[in-house]
Structure formats: C-alpha cells, structure tokens
Structure 1
Amino acid sequence: MKKLYVFTLLFLLLIPQSSFGQDGKKYIINNIIVTGNTAFNASTIITYSRLKKGQEVSFGGDKIGEAVKKLWGSNLFGTIDIYFINITEDNKVDIEINLSDLPELNETKVQGVKKGKVDEILEENNLKQRVKVTENLITTTKNYLTNKYKKKGFLNTKVNVVTSDVKNDSIEKKRVNMFINIDKGNKVKIKSIKFNGNDKLSDKKLRKAMKNTKQKNPIRILKRSKYVEEDYKEDLVSLIDKYKENGYRDARVIKDSIIYNDDKSISLLIDVEEGEKYTFGKIDFVGNTVYTDEFLSQILRIEEGDTYNGVELKKRIANDEKPDGIDITNIYQNTGYMFSTINPVEVSADGNVIDLEIRITEGKPAYFNSVTVKGNDITNDHVIYREIRTRPGELYSRANIIRTIRELGQLGFFNAQAIVPDIKNPNPVDGTLDIEYTVEEQGSSQIELQGGYGGGGFIGTLGLSFNNFSLRNILNGEAYKPVPRGDGQSLALRLQASQFFQTYSFSFSEPWLGGKKPFQLSTSISHSRQFLFDPQTRRADRSRRFNITGITFGISTRLKEPDDYFLFSQALSFQHYDLQNYNTGLFTFGDGSSNNLSYTIGLTRNNTYNDPIYPTGGSNFSASAKFSIPYSLFNGVDYKALREERDGLDPVADIDRIGEIDQERFKWLEFYKVKFKADWYAEVAKKLVLRPSVEFGFLGAYNNDRGVIPFERFFLGGDGLGNFALDGREVVQLRGYPNQSLSSQDGGSIYNKFSLELRYPITLGQGAKIYALSFVEGGASVNSFRDFNPFNLQRSAGLGVRIFMPAFGLLGIDFGKPFDPLPGQTQVGGWETHFIIGQQF
C-alpha cells in the first residue's frame, strides 16, 4: 500500500508534463465522481480532497497531488487513484477518484504464548476491533513482539502475522481477522564470554564489569545468563569504562562476535586493545573567580601522580547519577551559577602523563523570576507554595529544586513519581529564569471497612482518614466533595466493635499552625470498653468491664540546626483506666482506677527521597523519651514498706490486701520510656532498594520499690498490628512468629530488633504502587537488663509484597519462616502468614 502511494505521487508530481502527451494543458473540472470499494459518502471524499467543480487543474499539477496526499494522510484508504475522463474540446474534464478502504480489524488470535499474556499483547500493540489494518500496523506489531521476546533472552524469536478476509460478512465495510504466531524458541544462554588482547586486566575483572551480560554460573541467582542485545551493547561501554578507571584511556573494543554452539547456547568473543597506562599530571583551573583553586581542588579530590581515571574525573566534574552529589558543577549550580559550564581539557599527554585544564565559564548569577505550579486541582496553592524552596528573587539552586521535589512528594497528596520541575525562559544576559512545577493529584483520603470473626465473635471496623482536609470549609456546603479538602490538614475517625470490645478514636492535625512556618498542632481523643468472657453463656459479661479514656495534645516544629531535616516534637497525654469486677492477670485488683499523665519529647530526622511509599535513598531516625511525674518523690507513700508487706502476703488468702496495695501503687502511673529507631535506604541497583533497620525500647521505673508499671509495655512478634489496645503498649513487628509471642503475657520492658529488607518495585503508578520484598530480621524482648543480650535473638526470614492504593492505604502479605523456637519451647515452628494493613512504609 505504501509503495502505491509513493508511485502515485511520483507519477503525478515528478514525471514531466510532456510525458502525458497533453503539454501541461489546463482543464476545468466539470464533474467529480467517486468509484471503488469504499463505505464513505462520495460527497465526504470529494470535500476532503479539496477538489471542486470549476477548479482549474492539470496533469501532474499541485491540486491533484495535494488531493492524493490529503486522502492518503487520512489513513483510511488502501489504494488511491485519480483519473481524467471525458475530456471535451473546450478543455473541460471529469475527475474520477478511485479508491478502496483499508480493512478494519475484526478479531485477533495469538498463538505461541500463554492465554494470560494474550490481552497484554493486544493492548500493547493497539489491536482493537475496528482498528484500520495497515502494512505499518502489521510490520510494527511483528517487530515489537520480536524485540520484546529477544529482550527476555529468546534470541531466535520468530513472529508471523497474517490476515484473512471475513467471509459472509453482512457489514459493507471490509473486515479482516489477524493471526499472530509467536515462536519464541528456547532461551539462548551465554555459555562463555572470552577476551582476546587483555594483558592488563583479567577475564574475571572484565566479566565483572559487564553488569547485565553474564556467562553460565550455577551459583549466581540474581543475574541470568541470557543474551539481550541492548544490555550487551551497554556492557561493552562498561567494559571500556573499567579500563578508563584503571588508567587505560585509549582502550577500545576492536571486534566482538557471537558463536553459536551445538547445544543451542552462544559464546561471546571480544577482542580488545588496551593501550598504555596513564597518570594524572598537573591540573589547572582556568576562568574561576568565585571559588579558589584550592577549594575546587578539594572538591575534585585528584592529585598529581594518581592513576588516570576518566570515569571518576567525569563524576567529580558532574555526576549525572547523583543530582545532589558533591561535584564542581553542583557547587556552582547550588550557589546561583545556572549558566556556568565546566569542561576538562587535556593540554598535554607527554610520557603518558596527562596535564589538564578545568576550563570554567561562570556566567552571571541567575535569579528566579517567576515560580508557578500547575496540576493541583484539589490542593490549595498555599499548601504547595509553603513547601517550595525556590522563591522569586532568590538565587538559583539546583539543590533547592531537588529538595522541593522531595517535600512535595512527602506530602502524600501527589504522585511522587510525576512531579516535574520545568525551567522556562532562561536568560543568560539578564541572569533570570522561570520555573514551573507540574504535579499530579492522587487520592490522599483512605477508607477502612472490614469485618471478620476473631476472639469468639464478629469484629467490625470502620475507619476514615482524610489527609488533605480543610477545616475552614467545614461549614461550606459547596466544599463537600465528599468532604472539604485542599488545606493539607489531617482528620481521622475510627470505630471498631465486637461483643467483647468497643473502641472509638478521633484525631486532627494542622501542619502549619498560623500558616507562616511548619509548626504542627495535633490532638486525639479515644475511648475503649473491654468485657470479660462469660464461660457459662459464652458471651461477653458486660458487668465485668475495663474502660480506657485518653486525650493527647502535641506540637512539633522543624529545626534549622544542625539541618532542617530535623523535627522536634512534644506531647502531653492523659489516660484514665477504670476497672469494674475485671479480675485478670494484668492487675491484682479488679475494681478501681488508674491514671496516666505523661509528657513525650521526640527528635526525628527524615531525609528519605522522594516517594514516601517507596524511598530510594536517605535515612529516617527517631528518638523519643516519654515520662510521668515522679510522684514517689513527694507523695509521702512508703513504697518500700508496701513492697515488703506485699512480699510477705499469701497470694490466695490475702488477695484483697494485695489488691489494696497494688491500687495504691498504680493509682498514678510512674515510669519513663525511651525508644530509638533508624532506617536507611540505598539503591544497590536500578530501583532495587536495600533497607537496614534497627530498633530499641526500654521501660523503666524511678522507684524500684514501686516497680515497672503493667502498661506501656512492648509486645514483640507477628504482623505488628495493634488491634484495639489503647493502654500505651507498643506492638512490634517480627515476622515469622505468631503475634506477640516473643514477649511475656503482660509484655516486656526491654526489646531490640534488627531488620534487613530488599525491595523491588513492580509498578509505581498513580493508581497503585506495588513492590515485592525479601527480609531477614531478629529481635528479643525481656523484662530486665539482667536478661538482656542484644545478640541473643529470635531470627526469621521470608518474602512479601506491598500494595499501596490511595483510597485504602498500604496493604500487604508476608510469609515468614522462624529459625529459632519460641521462648520456653524446643521445636522451631513452621511458616507464618502475616497480613499487613496500614503499616508504616
């Protein structure tokens, strides 16, 4: 079809007019008729061709050529011919447009792949019903599928695409069925990679430099020995970079070839020329006025006599892999010199010693003129602008642009993968530029609605979390879509109930109180009711209850020193515990009350980037101390005497007196609690992220005679979900073991945990972020420092997957295998399955 179009244009436009025997005569169009196999209306075709009655035309003229080009450009026709007919003596002519429609696709059948892959192939190649079937569609489909499977290691993939007319079709339009046969063959493995001409670097070192192309090795797991041409070409560049890192700047690949073996594998043979080894000589800086030679030398970190390393030199000048790295380009870019250029030039290479000039053109300092944002349909402008580090009139800084991208991504209101800074109108003469940030809104509110059976009955949960709430529009009926949004505030409601417990909680936070600086105010209120099980009725006994009511006020502010990633927080909380005929192992008294007034101080530093769901770098540290008033210092109670009296009582006969003593001990809870946690994120390969983590917690008492309180304890093991408990307990995840199985029944007062996760994303799209993970971790929980050994751990390993959807938060599943028995047991347990709901990322 394509050839016919080219032939028609050449025939009409390029062949001399005299060749037609008409000497370029002009004719007046008398009539236009449409013939051929087409379902389109004749008047529509004539209008689209732009030929009109009374128009002057000629053989090979522009009007006829433009008509053919216009019709062909519609991609609706397979053949197009224009004829001059019925020529009269007064130079009038009828124009016949003869054409045939392109066939439409009826159905597509794919053979040679699994059924589950067919829909994916149809979508990737746009093979939908009624699509026009062109030669280009057939060719691109064939090429796409061939390359798709070659990239997966099927080097001998063959794809055949044929079409056939739909017979006995009552529809006037021509339709065809498409048949795609994919013969992938076997995966082509690389049996060996051999080198010729390498005396300075061994075969082993050169193979290691090839990151994606590997020869067969039964020990290696992560990298397969499949052949992918694109990866192989990249690895040839990496091969030469390895030489450059070792001083051989003239090294090159002379020839490479593929050898097909009898066992259907291939061998790669690579001939290299190494050249001579070079060292760095004198390095002079030219054109620098802002920074001294000494300062730039400290950034470059290359001394005279060092082995020449072209790869490292390039990184020290400008490291494309680390946009926030410490290099000379960033030093200038972060202090306003956007228009600066830094070029290393070799000025001498005598005796294999390379003298360099680092030629710097500094240019004018650049200032931001206009800073705008687009794409925020829900979030109000002021919520975004207060996070932006690039402001009109300020010096240009690449670091501030990168930091802005991070801060906007950390809000959770936008797709962190789609935040794009667009520099506009850079003017080196005036030293100004504009910048526009494009954001893509994503759902930031979440709903939790679930039900199930557990603990002897049905448990229902309703949770609503609005993470971009607008309190000032609470009375504005027009703002409910479905709730007022856009001011960056958080509001959460949660209700959970079964026949044995009921829990209600409400929380609200304003991250920028007053709107001038990041000063967060938060508050929460909660209430829970718990009932004991009645073995006679097998239902909850509502006359035996335990109520907990709590309220918390907190403030936090961003610090400027040592850097502005630090957050300082304080909180004041109060809980009232009320027991009525609630005799359990938790207290020795079943009737009474206890109060918990505590103050918490915390320091965190979070510089992870950029996506809070899937950080690829940075770290997150947090340390906190929670403590109550030391009542025993001034309340006049002799707790030593009470302890001695209690120790001398009979636990059965004197239970009432023991209860009275414990009521006195726990009337106002007295304690201090210290916690520390640190996470690191490192991208070890493209998007493959390693996350080490360490945690520690300690609950202590001011007065040993009063003892450690039964609340605020640590419960280690399992999925880490806190369920309905509001007694200050810390439920700590340690996968591979049953929930809370690694602590005593009342919880431990000390715990530590180490964890190592390896994460890889499946998709990081706006609708859902999905990543797979593997983990190893270990931890322990004890009740005193006498029993504490940070390396005596219960260990486990396993696999998992996480799915984050804006409407539902983080969901996931883990499969963990323990390596050690539970405390007090001798046999190691089997695999444990953990469902993750709303866990931290």
Structure 2
Amino acid sequence: MKLLLNIKKENDDLGKQVNNLANILSLTTYIKHCLVALIIAFSFNAQAQDLPYSDGKKYTLGGISVSGNTTFSEATIITTSGLRKGKEITIPGEDISKAIKKLWGYKLFSDIEVYISKIEGDIAYLEIRLSDLPQLNELKINGVKKGKKEAIIKETGLNKGTKVTENLITTTKNFLTKKYKKNGFYNSKILINTIDVKDSLETARVNMVLNIDKGEKVKVKDIVFSGNNVLSDKKLRKAMKNTKKINRLRILKRSKFIDSAYQADLNHVIDKYKENGYRDARILSDSLVVNDDNKTVSLHINVNEGELYTFGDITFIGNTVYSNEQLNRYLRIKKGDTYNGVLLQERIADNSKPDAADITNLYQNSGYLFSSINPVEVNADGNVIDMEIRISEGKPAYFNKVSVVGNDKTNDHVIYRMLRTRPGQLYSKENVVRSVRELGQLGFFDAQEISPNFNNPNPNEGTIDMEYSVKETGSSQIELQGGYGGGGFIGTLGLSFNNFSIKDIFKKEAYKPIPMGDGQKLALRLQASRFYQTYSFSFSEPWLGGKKPVQFSTSLSHTKQFLYNPITRNADKSRRFNITGLSVGLAKRLTVPDDYFTLSQAVSFQHYDLQNYNTGLFTFGDGSSNNLSYTIGLSRNNTRIDPIYPTGGSNFSATAKFSVPYSLFNKVDYKALKDERDDLEIIIGDGTKTIDERTEASDRVGEIDQERYKWLEFYKINFKGDWYTEIVKDLVLKPSVEFGFLGAYNNDRGVIPFERFFVGGDGLGNYSLDGREAIALRGYPNQSLSDQDGGTIYNKFSLELRYPITLKASAKIYALGFLEGGASYNSFRDYNPFDIKRSAGLGIRIFMPAFGLLGIDFGHGFDALPGQTAKNGWETHFIIGQQF
C-alpha cells in the first residue's frame, strides 16, 4: 500500500497549507514529492511496498474504500471527494489534491490520508482514511455569574455539537480577551481546556472547560502630554471625553481604560487643536505603561502642535438658490478668524443635531435633498487658508410615496394625519424630523424605534419615497397608586385606554381585549381613603371631525368626603360633603406664533352638597354651593422625542380659570354682610355671652356664608414651565418653575374656601374634591407646607438631572437627582418668592406600558415644617402612576 497524502489539520490556517501541499503531488517524481514533504515537516509517509511510478501516469479508478474514525457514510465521503469508480485520474496529479481540498473545505475532519491500496495494470484502487473533528459534548464556564453564561455561549457559538478545532479555541480566547478589555478588564485571562470523552459509539467528543479571570478593572492613573506648549495638559485631558484619570469626586465619567475609547479620544485631542487654529497638529506617538500595582496604567502622549492658521477668503461656488450673503449668515465665519476645522464642518453640516442651523439643513429644508456641500482649501500661504465652499445643489426633491410600516394596532389614518410629509410635497428635512417627533409624542409607539427610511432616491427625476418604521408599544395602562395623605392611606385604581376606538364599541370582533386604533382616550378612575371616595370618567378625541387637530374632551366625576372625628380618629359617614362635576373642553393647535402652541378652553360645573358638615373652612354645615367656571389655557410643547424621557425642548402652560362675577349684578351688599359677620365672630368668641347667644350668632354666620358661597366667585391663574437640555449624550438637565394664584373679584365677598393649593410631599391625593391642587415638594410630608385650609398662592422651583439606565419599550428606567424649593402663602401680603422650603435628593423612575410611571424618591428637607424649629430631614416618597 502506498500512502499518497497524510495531513493532520489543526486549524484553518494549516488547512490553507494543506491545499498548497496537495499541489505538490504534481511534481515530476515521487522522490521530489517526499523531499518537499519532509522539508515542510508534514507527515507524508510511505509504506515499504515499492510500486512503479512514472511522472503523471494515468490510471482508471477501480474502486474507492473509506476507513478511519468517522461517523459519515462511505458513500457520503466518496461523493464529497469528487472521485468515482471508473474515473480516469493522473497519479501523481491534481485529481487527488482537489479531492482532499474538497474534504478539508467542509471543516469536519482532523486527519485525512489517501492510500493506493493496489494497482492492477492501469487500474488503481484508493483508500481514503480520515478522522472526524471532535464535537463539543459539554461546556463548563467558570469565573462569571450564571446570568452571563448564556450570553457568552451565544457570542462564541460554543453550542453542543460544535466541531472543536484549535482555530475555534484561539478565536474564542481572542474574542473574550478583547471583549473584557473593551469593558476595562485589561488584565483578563482566558484559559480553555478540552478533555476527550469515550462513548460506545466511538464518536469523537470533548468536554470543554472555559476559565475566565476578568481581573480587576484597569484604571487610568495619569495622562501625560509632551510637546504641547499652546494647550495645557488640563485642556487636552478635558478634550478626551471618555478617557479620564482617577478622580474620586467625578461621578458621571469613570476612569477605566478602554482601548477603543482611548483611540477615539486621541482624535478628540487633534480636534481640540483644530478648534484653536492648529490644523497640522498630530500625535507623534503614544504609549501605555502598566504601573507596578498592575491595577492602573499611565498614558503618555507626544504631540506636534504645528503652527497657528487663520481663515482667509471664503468663496461660495455653485450656489444659485441662496446668495453669498445668505450663506454667510449661516456660516458665521469671517476672514481673519482663527482657523477652526471642527467649527467649519459643524456650520456646513452638524451631524450631532438633526435640526441644526447649518448650510446643509438650509438646503434640505428647502427641498434640495440631493445637494452636496464640500469645503476645499485652495491656498495656505503665510498660514492663511483661503477656502472654496463648493455647492452642488441638484434638483429639488419631491415625495413620491409616503408609507408607514409596523403599526399592527393603530389605524393608518391616525398616523398619516400626524405626518408633515405628503406625496407630491417638496422635501423638507425639518418636516421629516417633526413627523418623527409627532409620532413619538402620540405614546402609541416606542419613541426610540421610530425610523424614517429613504427609499428609491432618484436624483435625475427629483423624487424620493418615504417610509416611517414604527414599533407598537402598550398604550393602555392600569393605574395603581398608593400613599398617605389627607389623614390616611389613599388608594387609586384606574383604567386608561390611550388608543381607544369608540366607533368599534359595538363590534364584537374588535375586543382584543378592547376596541383600539383610533387614538382616543377613555379613562375610568376610583380613588378612596377612609375619609373620601372619588369616581371619575373621562373621554377625549384628539381630532374632532377627523380633519383638524381639535381635541374634544369631557369628564364626569362624583366625590364623597366624610368628616374626620378627632375622638375616634375615624370618618363620620353621617356627616358628608358631596361634589358632582361635569366638564367639556376643546383644544386647538395654533399656527401663530408657531404650530407648537395649543389653545384650550373648557366649561365646567361642580355642585357641592353639605350634610351636617361643619368645619373651620366654611360655617354652613347644611347647604349647597355651585361652581360654574370657564378655563382658558395656552401651552407650548416642543419636547423631543420621547414623552417619557425628553432630551430637549420645553413644555410650558399658562391657564386662567374664571367664574361668573355674580357680585356685579346680584344686588347683594357683601360689605354689609362682611361687617355683620365680623361682629358675629366677636360674639362667638366672647366668653361673657350666653350659649344661646353664641349659638344664634354661629347660625347666622352659617347663613351669611351660605349666601356668600351659593355661587362661587373667583379667578385662578396657573403657570408651569419645564425645560430640557441634553448636557452630554442622554444626560438631561430639567429646570422647572411653577406658580399659582387664587383671587377674588370682590374683596368684601372674600376668597372662596375651594380651589386652593396644598404644598408638600409626593403629590398623591391630587383628587378634585373641592378643586384643590396637591403640589409635590419632595423632602416633606404630604400637604405639610400649607395651612389646614390650603394656600391661595404658591410657587415652586426645581432642578433635576436625569440619566437613562434603559429606554427599551418594555421598560424605560432612568435615575435622577433633584434640588427643589417652594412654599404656599395665604395672601400677597405674605408672599415672598425667596422664602421657600428647600430639599434635595435622589430617585429612580420606571415606566412600564401596562402600569405607567413607577418610582421612588429619597428627599432631604433642609428646613423646618411650619410651627417647628428642627429641619425635617429625610422623607421617602413612592411614585405610582404619576410624574413630576
């Protein structure tokens, strides 16, 4: 038997060598073949039988047999090799090498040997002897948490049955080493051992043990620059956005070393020089030194600053749509300014801001989608750079088709009415960005997944197809809210259907589980404690009539409050205060000053019914009051894009609520009633008077108050503003300001005992019992910063710093830190916007589509509660179903 080829393949690189070795068979003699095989140290062996060979002699294959440790059938191996009985082949020649190359190509074998078993004249018989690569039987991973193991298996492909090669082992080591270095584990060590497994089937199997020693995160101890004279080390280190030296006072930026971030920061160093006019600056060398503690590294960066350059003449070429003067207003760079390549690029196309005021957006907002703008340096004599800004305007582009994909629940017309892009309309990048914002603000889709896709751009015809890709998210919510306020535990259960379809309410097949898809909102709410119960129903249609963004809303509510018994500390249900309310409103989006403004109007009516309900707030215990009021509000909301986690823009609202000025025409002398009431209060407080006299005076006060409050007369002003600024990526600063004032038309009639402000706590208990508003101010107990009867004026200031943990549709989580202060006042005589109660703290918010916003805050009150001297200290607030 003569061995033609015996190759033991250990990895894919070796496999390439095998293919080269196979070609050696075409050498003129068997001796040459053996000499070459010996030189490259492969196990080409021949048995002692001496068979006559001549150069390239042709044989007919009389048969092929297969042997060795393999689970593949003989027919499969022969078919795969490309050899077949009766085929004429040349030995030595390319036929054998091609067959072996094919078998190696499947990466299933660790050893392939081809023998001539015998020769009869010009008929040759071959034997293919091979061994399968071992399969992975079991994998054991040490050194990482259980939850991380599945991810490692998925990333490396180490699944049961995988063919185990040296290349696989090496690739896995390299991958995991790079992975952990990327995450700051610069000293990570990966060890992989394999153990052969014997089984009855004699199948080649191995168990693998993957030992991962991440080590400690390597941190940057120091960053040392050399060669820098113009810019200090401090400025250059500051330019490195993600590579920072150890500083225990720094919270938001960690000091771990990540090579990819470091390489990017080297470019940021060069950009810093370019911003200051040194366009030729470059990094001559950089090195990383592992310190003796083996836990920190020092970075040494050698720079060449080059020379200072300034801008010379800046010429626009190719512009016909806009004049040089118009383009210069956007460029805002003049001859003689210090050269700043980064600023120049931002003024031409600022990729960090989709709505930036740059020249590219100027063209794209006017339809020139296919325009291109390229700055070119044409002269740099004397360190003065003359620039040509070459503009290719192209044809104006028009939308050909506009489509939406991904909406499984929301009906198409609800989406299309929000889009600012229409077929046949001139292209505008601003309108595309605004459309994405409007879809995100709906709350029906994951705002992070909304994607505008440009399809079939045709510069010659000037057309583009627009496709908006959306991902539905849960828009209905179960509101579960709990907390302490108003003298006891307050619980709320509500159902809010935010994408309701009332037209399908009688269609049985539409209940999946409820009729959905038309963008309407239906809410049912129950709030209760020992002392009150509130039931409410509301409905809103955002596009009344379906053609214009005019929102119609209506609500119906009923409230019962029971008098607190200070002796039993329970509610006395025989003494109650009932309120029934109805409101109808319209809100219209405006076009002036811009279309972010909304004008809202509402008419509401509340009927107050008192049954044996005497308090210090008003003295008639049996009777009724009525509140007919008109509310007008102006709001502007241009926050982007995600309503749960806005990263920019602002949201403000100003509302005014008015009742009818009854005192102008009801011919009641309220001054006389006021004087009489003051006199009666003196009698009630006079201990020399008899009980009957004081009782009679008290009853008369009740009659006067019944007259004063039969129809409530008041006006109420509210203002609230929120601003969102993205400091760095996803880190958002949110300052807020609030103000409220409750006044009276007629001072003799006085300020009503309803509609008042209660400041302090988490804002729970914001029930419409008597029109009151619960103003959250963390770090203090609920409603503790107002008098028992509430205030008529309040102001509040807050500053929040937010950072997202995850913004996925299933759960959006962000952490926050806050500073805030506020107070309530009983009159303008007491009002002092700087005399406020201050607090600070930390919190976290979790938004889940089914339950709304959940969270917890830990607030520290720096000031004392009214009537106390010691600061309030720490308070814990649970937030369920509401948002500050």
Displacement, 1:439? 0.9
Would the alpha carbon gap of residues 540 and 169 (structure 1) be closer, same or farther in structure 2, given more than 3 Å must change? Answer: farther
CA distance in 2, matches of 1:827, 1:345: 68
Would the alpha carbon gap of residues 182 and 584 (structure 1) be closer, same or farther in structure 2, given more than 3 Å must change? Answer: same
Would the alpha carbon gap of residues 508 and 63 (structure 1) be closer, same or farther in structure 2, given more than 3 Å must change? Answer: farther
Q: Is contact 2:81–2:103 with CA below 8 Å preserved after alignment?
A: no
Partner residue, 1:36: 69
Partner residue, 1:571: 602
Q: Alignment partner of 2:864: what SS?
A: coil
Match of 2:586 among 555, 576, 587: 555
Would the alpha carbon gap of residues 143 and 606 (structure 1) be closer, same or farther in structure 2, given more than 3 Å must change? Answer: farther
CA distance in 1, matches of 2:498, 2:131: 60
Q: Alignment partner of 2:872: what SS?
A: coil
CA distance in 1, matches of 2:645, 2:864: 33
Q: Write the mapping of 1:50-65 to structure 2, written as runs, cut at 5 A.
A: 60-61=94-95, 64=99
Residue by residue over 1:216-242, the C-alpha shift from the partner in whole angstroms, topping out at 9 and shown as x without a partner, is 445444334332222222222111111
Residue by residue over 1:645-673, the C-alpha shift from the partner in whole angstroms, topping out at 9 and shown as x without a partner, is 11111346222211111111111111111
- Output the amino acid matched with 1:150: K
Match of 2:762 among 719, 734, 737: 719
Q: Which runs of 5+ in 2 are unaligned?
A: 1-9, 31-52, 686-693
Partner residue, 1:204: 234
Match of 1:418 among 449, 474, 480: 449
Q: Does 2:304 correspond to 1:273? A: yes
Partner residue, 1:222: 252
Q: Is contact 2:63–2:124 with CA below 8 Å preserved after alignment?
A: yes
- Output the amino acid matched with 2:391: I
Q: Does 2:642 correspond to 1:611? A: yes
Q: Is contact 1:108–1:127 with CA below 8 Å preserved after alignment?
A: no
Displacement, 1:802? 0.7
Partner residue, 2:699: 656
Residue by residue over 1:276-310, the C-alpha shift from the partner in whole angstroms, topping out at 9 and shown as x without a partner, is 21111111111100000111111111111111111
| Mean CA deviation greater in 217-226 or 641-650 | 217-226
Question: Share of identical aligned residues, percent?
Answer: 64
Would the alpha carbon gap of residues 538 and 222 (structure 1) be closer, same or farther in structure 2, given more than 3 Å must change? Answer: closer
Q: Does 2:739 correspond to 1:681? A: no
Q: Is contact 2:859–2:875 with CA below 8 Å preserved after alignment?
A: yes
Would the alpha carbon gap of residues 673 and 85 (structure 1) be closer, same or farther in structure 2, given more than 3 Å must change? Answer: farther
CA distance in 2, matches of 1:388, 1:167: 66
Partner residue, 2:334: 303
Partner residue, 1:630: 661
Q: Is contact 2:59–2:88 with CA below 8 Å preserved after alignment?
A: yes
Q: Is contact 2:19–2:101 with CA below 8 Å preserved after alignment?
A: no
Q: TM-score, normalised by structure 1?
A: 0.92
CA distance in 2, matches of 1:821, 1:829: 5
- Output the amino acid matched with 1:465: S
Would the alpha carbon gap of residues 87 and 724 (structure 1) be closer, same or farther in structure 2, given more than 3 Å must change? Answer: farther
CA distance in 2, matches of 1:55, 1:570: 94
Q: Write the mapping of 1:170-569 to structure 2, written as runs, cut at 5 A.
A: 174=205, 176-185=207-216, 187-264=217-294, 265-449=296-480, 461-498=492-529, 500-533=531-564, 540-569=571-600
Would the alpha carbon gap of residues 719 and 536 (structure 1) be closer, same or farther in structure 2, given more than 3 Å must change? Answer: closer
Count of residues in correspondence between the two structures: 833
Partner residue, 2:879: 836
RMSD of Structure 2 on Structure 1 (CA): 3.1
Q: Which runs of 5+ in 1 are unaligned?
A: none
Displacement, 1:425? 1.2
Match of 2:845 among 797, 802, 813: 802
Q: Alignment partner of 2:431: what SS?
A: helix
| Mean CA deviation greater in 84-93 or 710-719 | 84-93
Would the alpha carbon gap of residues 780 and 254 (structure 1) be closer, same or farther in structure 2, given more than 3 Å must change? Answer: same
Q: Write the mapping of 1:70-89 to structure 2, written as runs, cut at 5 A.
A: 71-72=106-107, 77=108, 79=110, 81=112, 83=114
Q: Is contact 2:83–2:99 with CA below 8 Å preserved after alignment?
A: no
Partner residue, 2:803: 760
Residue by residue over 1:259-289, the C-alpha shift from the partner in whole angstroms, topping out at 9 and shown as x without a partner, is 3444544332222212221111111111100
| Mean CA deviation greater in 482-491 or 44-53 | 44-53
- Output the amino acid matched with 2:135: P
Partner residue, 1:745: 788
Q: Is contact 2:69–2:203 with CA below 8 Å preserved after alignment?
A: no
Displacement, 1:414? 0.9
Displacement, 1:163? 3.5
Q: Does 2:23 correspond to 1:2? A: no
Q: Is contact 1:17–1:60 with CA below 8 Å preserved after alignment?
A: no
Partner residue, 2:140: 108
Q: Alignment partner of 2:432: what SS?
A: helix
Would the alpha carbon gap of residues 60 and 390 (structure 1) be closer, same or farther in structure 2, given more than 3 Å must change? Answer: farther
CA distance in 2, matches of 1:741, 1:459: 16
Displacement, 1:746? 1.6
Would the alpha carbon gap of residues 583 and 432 (structure 1) be closer, same or farther in structure 2, given more than 3 Å must change? Answer: same
Would the alpha carbon gap of residues 98 and 727 (structure 1) be closer, same or farther in structure 2, given more than 3 Å must change? Answer: farther
Displacement, 1:379? 1.0
CA distance in 2, matches of 1:710, 1:200: 68
Would the alpha carbon gap of residues 132 and 641 (structure 1) be closer, same or farther in structure 2, given more than 3 Å must change? Answer: farther
Would the alpha carbon gap of residues 703 and 195 (structure 1) be closer, same or farther in structure 2, given more than 3 Å must change? Answer: same
Partner residue, 1:598: 629
- Output the amino acid matched with 1:741: S
| Mean CA deviation greater in 213-222 or 652-661 | 213-222
Match of 2:819 among 776, 782, 786: 776
Residue by residue over 1:785-805, the C-alpha shift from the partner in whole angstroms, topping out at 9 and shown as x without a partner, is 111111111111111111111
Q: Does 2:652 correspond to 1:621? A: yes
CA distance in 2, matches of 1:834, 1:300: 50
| Mean CA deviation greater in 285-294 or 264-273 | 264-273
Would the alpha carbon gap of residues 5 and 259 (structure 1) be closer, same or farther in structure 2, given more than 3 Å must change? Answer: closer
Would the alpha carbon gap of residues 366 and 501 (structure 1) be closer, same or farther in structure 2, given more than 3 Å must change? Answer: same
Residue by residue over 1:56-94, the C-alpha shift from the partner in whole angstroms, topping out at 9 and shown as x without a partner, is 58675598468536743xxxx453747577677585867
Displacement, 1:173? 7.9
Residue by residue over 1:29-51, the C-alpha shift from the partner in whole angstroms, topping out at 9 and shown as x without a partner, is 9677685354xx74996699597
Q: Is contact 2:485–2:765 with CA below 8 Å preserved after alignment?
A: no
Would the alpha carbon gap of residues 819 and 46 (structure 1) be closer, same or farther in structure 2, given more than 3 Å must change? Answer: same
Would the alpha carbon gap of residues 133 and 532 (structure 1) be closer, same or farther in structure 2, given more than 3 Å must change? Answer: farther
Q: Alignment partner of 1:215: what SS?
A: coil
CA distance in 2, matches of 1:82, 1:365: 68
Residue by residue over 1:411-440, the C-alpha shift from the partner in whole angstroms, topping out at 9 and shown as x without a partner, is 111111111111111111111111211111
Residue by residue over 1:170-218, the C-alpha shift from the partner in whole angstroms, topping out at 9 and shown as x without a partner, is 9978352423231414x43433322222222222222222222233445
CA distance in 2, matches of 1:184, 1:156: 6
Would the alpha carbon gap of residues 149 and 797 (structure 1) be closer, same or farther in structure 2, given more than 3 Å must change? Answer: farther
Q: Is contact 1:32–1:46 with CA below 8 Å preserved after alignment?
A: no
CA distance in 1, matches of 2:205, 2:453: 47
Would the alpha carbon gap of residues 18 and 490 (structure 1) be closer, same or farther in structure 2, given more than 3 Å must change? Answer: farther
Would the alpha carbon gap of residues 347 and 633 (structure 1) be closer, same or farther in structure 2, given more than 3 Å must change? Answer: same
Displacement, 1:621? 1.2
Q: Alignment partner of 1:661: what SS?
A: helix
Q: Alignment partner of 1:485: what SS?
A: coil
